[in-house]
Amino acid sequence: MTGSILATPSPQISVPSRISRMSNFKVSAIASYQAYEPWKTREQLIWLKALRDGNQKVIQQELIRCQRNPWHWLRAWVLTENVASRGSSPFEAFPDKPHLYYICEIWQRESRLIIPKSRQLTLTWEMVALYLHDAMFFPSRLNLIQSKKEEDADEVLERGYTIYQHLPQFMKSWQPLVGERKTHCLMKFSRNRSRLLAIPEGPDHIRGLTPTGLLSDETVYQDDVEKMLAAASPALADHGRLTMLSSAGPSHFENIAFDRSA
């Protein structure tokens, strides 16, 4: 899993619950990576045609399949945006790469993850997509996306909206957004009442909310990370999900990620 490490804190650092360390996670518990092309065989193409033709039975089965298998959803339906692309379109199918597959599988199994990263690994796109998947396919979710500034968090959430815009119409009709669009810092689904909310750094924007998930993006640049974790801990303690994703650097995030005392 080149370029990414999942780490656990030392006992001196206060964080909610257990955070997964890659060295402690048995990747052997996950099915080995195999290249996955969802629309390649004759049977798959017949299935795709039925979806495009509006076959309701097939649509229902595909939605169930996507709910149960986020990796299939990512590979079959998610597009990312590559602004540096020199092709005819900046929108590209979610890449079929081993590190993205394993991160996806681990994310489903472990509710506390810290992921130091370098650029160009598509990890921010993957995490935003997975939190979007959680909000779309499960009711009454409140997934927070936190970054240094509100506009930074909203820019990350905009990636989720980009993904949503390029989903097939049958999927968007099944789970429409309120007002059929993202508003500033908010995506809210009208049928299942799930929300994705972008917030700036710090604990004050978490207190008073009952989030089911928190994606902290570029945590290394945020202040008061320890206080943020303390504020999020009560709501996330039982069934909530925490993902901290950042480039590495001297910070509380680095202390946790690389098992160093504060």
CATH number at residue 212: 3.40.50.300
For residue 255, count other CB atoms closer than 10 A to its CB. 19
> Which residues, including other chains, have CB under 8 Å from residue 151's CB and lie 6 or more apart?
none
pLDDT at residue 219, rounded to an integer = 80
pLDDT at residue 145, rounded to an integer = 96
Q: Which residues pair with 92 in a beta bridge?
A: 80
Asked if the structure places residue 10 within a domain, the reply is no
Q: How confident is the model at residue 112 (pLDDT cuts 50, 70, 90)?
A: confident
Would the pLDDT of 165 be above 90? yes
pLDDT at residue 13, rounded to an integer = 28
Asked if the structure places residue 142 within a domain, the reply is yes
Q: 115-119, 152-156, 207-211: which has the minimum mean pLDDT?
A: 115-119
pLDDT at residue 251, rounded to an integer = 53
**Which of 41-50, 120-129, 195-204, 238-247 has maximum average pLDDT?**
41-50
Structure tokens at 103: 């991160």
Structure tokens at 51: 């979806």
Would the pLDDT of 260 be above 80? no
96/85: higher pLDDT: 96
pLDDT at residue 16, rounded to an integer = 37
Q: What is the pTM of this model?
A: 0.85
Number of domains in the chain: 1
Q: How confident is the model at residue 89 (pLDDT cuts 50, 70, 90)?
A: confident
Q: What percent of the chain has pLDDT over 90?
A: 58
Please write the tens of the pLDDT for every residue from 201-258: 988 889 888 899 999 998 877 888 888 888 888 888 877 999 988 776 555 555 555 5
For residue 146, count other CB atoms closer than 10 A to its CB. 28
Asked if the structure places residue 135 within a domain, the reply is yes
What is the rounded CA–CA span in Å between residue 104 and residue 152? 24
Cα 52 from chain centroid (whole Å)? 27
pLDDT at residue 134, rounded to an integer = 97
Asked if the structure places residue 129 within a domain, the reply is yes
Q: What percent of the chain has pLDDT over 70?
A: 82
Residues spanned by the domain of 187:
99-257
Average pLDDT over residues 45-68: 97
CB-count burial class (<10 Å; 0-12, 13-18, 19+) for 104: buried
182/121: higher pLDDT: 182
Q: How confident is the model at residue 4 (pLDDT cuts 50, 70, 90)?
A: very low
pLDDT at residue 55, rounded to an integer = 97
Asked if the structure places residue 208 within a domain, the reply is yes
pLDDT at residue 9, rounded to an integer = 30
SS3 per-residue string spanning 180-242: HCCECCEEEECCCCCEEEEECCCCCCCCCCCCCEEEEECHHHCCCHHHHHHHHHHHHCCCCEE
**Cβ atoms 80, 94 nearer than 8 A:** yes
Got the DSSP string for 44-61? HHHHHHHHHTT-HHHHHH
